[in-house]
């Protein structure tokens, strides 16, 4: 037994001394406020080379403490050059992952409490606020009541869509195997389109679905890369005829490549005929559906089994925050619940509480509801709609700029705040490959550090994706971005013309 005096004297530090926390916390807030003030000055895409950081940091952790001031100095000089600035107003790549003061403050509070809300009892507010905000959000989206707790379903905040898809897939799988027997796992088939996010294929792999039974149904430019219900039905029929068991369909509202919207009403009709679980992935575009004018894109969701969107993309809530709603929580719970002795408690045994550990892969879980609650309250539904509309308006404006320049074309209709465009073949002189010149344009623009855009390939065509949604982006940045694109495209086209002339000489 240790002596109490020794233990008191030798205790070396209090890493949570409130006044020192206060002092350092204020320093960090100032650091971040200054960062937002100057984020635009940094190259948007980091310009470092692979391995840069290993060359300038020590090989081992320090033995002695270092001051916050020293560490922040290193953040400024060593980390920030290696950051690709997702919060820059000139970030137009991938999909946005936008932040807000409210989102950050909610996350700070969650971090500060640092409760682990696996069971209701482990922090009742964490569970109950999650129930409340997912119901609030569901109502904002006009989800059918069957997705809300108040209607027998319910929402949960997971990390990412990958988790949401994996959890619902496993729920669907087990529901099916309970009926057909565990030995039939090799017969289960998953459906999606060739535009569905790669998360679907990965989830199927993780869940033990035979890779041969993964159907990424081909889409076409003529139908704007939507999943065709007839093709889905043909695929299902073919599988059924071959003794396979149709299991799960992932439909998308706002695909990653082009924000295409799959026709939910007719897809769910087909799926229901064959008792296929339908998940609707609206990771990015779902946020827009809080505006009445975009709600149509969710029509048909009432026939789906589960629905998810990422509040951390286009909803001012910091990474990570994937909202998943299901109609039948018991399907999730049957697959994902564990009940070890060390977690048993009276509240859970009454069955009057939700234990979110049984709705997700992970046992430990952060108090994510706080940040979404802060966002919803700090901005309110009215301003959140205007915020979404602001980005859509900027995208419309950008689309107009593209259309006005005869060297470019918009490749697919713009539905939300992303424009897919390219230098069009007719603007390209000589033998230059149209995909190659657009690839060069992307790289040239990104290397400049002035804006960051990303790409995709749609029906064999290399396309530049211009996704608007960073919080600090405004219409002037969008105008400037277009000038950057035009300048780089101009230089490339002139180069190509010169090269073509050279080639013709010989």
Q: Which is nearer to a second copy, 80 or 499 (CB)?
A: 80
* Distance of closest approach, residue 19 Cβ to a second copy, in angstroms: 7
Cα dihedral 86/166/265/186 (nearest 10): 140
Tokens at residue 356, please? 């979110």
Q: Of 283 and 298, which has the nearer Cβ to a second copy?
A: 283
The least distance separating a second copy from the CB of residue 35, rounded to whole angstroms, comes to: 7
DSSP string for residues in 18-67: HHHHHHHHHHHHHHHHHHHHHGGGS-SS--PPTTHHHHHS-SS--SS---
76 cis-preceded (ω within 30 degrees of 0): no
Q: At closest approach, how far in Å is the CB of 79 from a second copy?
A: 5
Integer angstrom CA distances of residue 140 from 50, 295, 425: 44, 10, 43
What is the nearest approach in angstroms of a second copy to the Cβ of residue 265?
A: 27
Nearer to a second copy, 42 or 307 (CB): 42
| φ/ψ of residue 479, rounded to 5 | -60, -45
Strand-pairing partners, residue 127, are none
User: H/E element holding 121?
Assistant: none
Q: 33 is written with which tokens?
A: 């406020």
- Residue with smaller CB distance to a second copy, 299 or 349: 349
What distance in Å separates the CA atoms of residue 325 and residue 141, rounded to the nearest whole number? 12
Of residues 130 and 268, the one with the C-beta less far from a second copy: 130
Residue 192 beta carbon to a second copy: minimum distance, rounded to whole angstroms? 12
Q: How far is the CB of 479 from a second copy (least distance, A)?
A: 7
In whole angstroms, the minimum distance from the beta carbon of 424 to a second copy comes to 19
What is the number of helices (H) and of strands (E) in the chain? Answer: 16, 11
Q: What is the DSSP string of 122-171?
A: G-HHHHHHHHHHHHHHHHHTT--GGGSGGGT-EEEEES-HHHHHHHHHHH
Report how far residue 45's alpha carbon sits from residue 74's, in angstroms, rounded to the nearest whole number: 19
What is the rounded distance in angstroms from the CA atom of residue 177 to the CA atom of residue 158?
Answer: 25
C-beta of 7 vs 243, nearer to a second copy: 7
- Give min distance, CB of 14 to a second copy, in A: 7
Minimum separation from the CB atom of position 365 to a second copy (A) = 8
Please tell me whether residue 308 adopts helix, strand or coil conformation. Answer: strand
DSSP 366-416: --THHHHHHHHHHHHHHHHHHHHHHHHHHHHHHHHHHHHSTTEEE-S---S
CA 72 to chain centroid:
29
> In the complex with a second copy, which residue's Cβ is closer, 51 or 243?
51
Q: What CA–CA distance (Å, rounded) separates 228 from 220? A: 9
- In the complex with a second copy, the residue whose CB is nearer, 85 or 175, is 85
168/268 with CB nearer a second copy: 168
Nearer to a second copy, 167 or 270 (CB): 167
Q: What is the DSSP code (8-state) at residue 99?
A: -
Minimum CB distance to a second copy, residue 198 (Å): 4
Q: State the nearest-atom distance from the C-beta of 158 to a second copy, in Å.
A: 9
Closer CB to a second copy, 10 or 241, in the complex: 10
């Amino acid at each position: 037994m240790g002596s109490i005096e020794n233990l008191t004297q030798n205790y070396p530090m209090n890493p949570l001394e409130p006044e020192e926390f206060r002092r350092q916390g204020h320093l960090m807030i100032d650091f971040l406020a200054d960062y937002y003030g100057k984020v635009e000055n940094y190259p948007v895409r980091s310009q470092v080379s692979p391995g840069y950081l290993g060359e300038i940091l020590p090989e081992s952790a320090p033995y002695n403490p270092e001051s916050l001031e020293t560490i922040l100095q290193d953040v400024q000089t060593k980390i920030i050059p290696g950051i690709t600035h997702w919060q820059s107003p000139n970030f137009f790549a991938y999909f946005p992952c936008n932040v807000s003061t409210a989102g950050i403050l909610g996350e700070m509070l969650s971090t500060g409490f640092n409760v682990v809300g696996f069971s209701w009892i482990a922090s009742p507010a964490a569970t109950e606020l999650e129930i409340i905000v997912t119901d609030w959000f569901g109502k904002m989206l006009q989800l059918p009541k069957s997705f809300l707790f108040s209607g027998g379903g319910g929402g949960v905040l997971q990390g990412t869509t990958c988790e949401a898809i994996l959890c619902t897939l496993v729920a669907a799988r087990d529901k099916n195997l309970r009926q057909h027997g565990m030995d039939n796992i090799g017969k289960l088939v998953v459906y999606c389109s060739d535009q569905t996010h790669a998360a679907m294929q990965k989830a199927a792999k993780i869940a033990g679905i035979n890779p041969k039974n993964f159907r990424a149904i081909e889409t076409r430019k003529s139908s704007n890369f939507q999943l065709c219900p007839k093709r889905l039905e043909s695929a299902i029929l073919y599988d059924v005829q071959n003794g396979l068991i149709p299991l799960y369909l992932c439909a998308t509202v706002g695909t990653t490549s082009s924000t295409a919207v799959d026709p939910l009403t007719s897809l769910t009709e087909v799926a229901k005929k064959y008792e296929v679980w339908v998940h609707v992935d609206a990771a990015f575009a779902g946020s827009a559906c809080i505006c009445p004018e975009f709600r149509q894109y969710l029509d048909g969701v009432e026939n789906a089994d589960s629905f998810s969107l990422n509040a951390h993309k286009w909803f001012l809530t910091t990474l990570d925050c994937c909202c998943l709603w299901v109609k039948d929580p018991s399907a999730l719970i049957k697959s994902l619940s564990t009940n070890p002795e060390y977690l048993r408690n009276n509240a859970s045994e009454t069955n009057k509480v939700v234990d979110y550990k049984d709705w997700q892969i992970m046992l430990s879980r952060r108090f994510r509801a706080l940040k979404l609650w802060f966002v919803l309250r700090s901005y309110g539904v009215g301003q959140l709609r205007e915020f979404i509309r602001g980005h859509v308006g900027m995208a419309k404006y950008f689309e107009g700029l593209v259309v006005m320049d005869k060297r470019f074309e918009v490749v697919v209709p713009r539905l939300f705040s992303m424009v897919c465009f390219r230098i069009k073949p007719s603007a390209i002189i000589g033998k230059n490959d149209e995909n190659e010149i657009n690839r060069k344009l992307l790289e040239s623009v990104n290397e400049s550090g002035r804006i960051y855009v990303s790409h995709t390939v749609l029906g064999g065509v290399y396309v530049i994706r211009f996704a608007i949604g960073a919080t600090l982006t405004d219409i002037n940045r969008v105008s400037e971005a277009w000038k950057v694109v035009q300048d780089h495209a101009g230089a490339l086209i002139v180069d190509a013309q010169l090269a073509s002339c050279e080639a013709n000489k010989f």
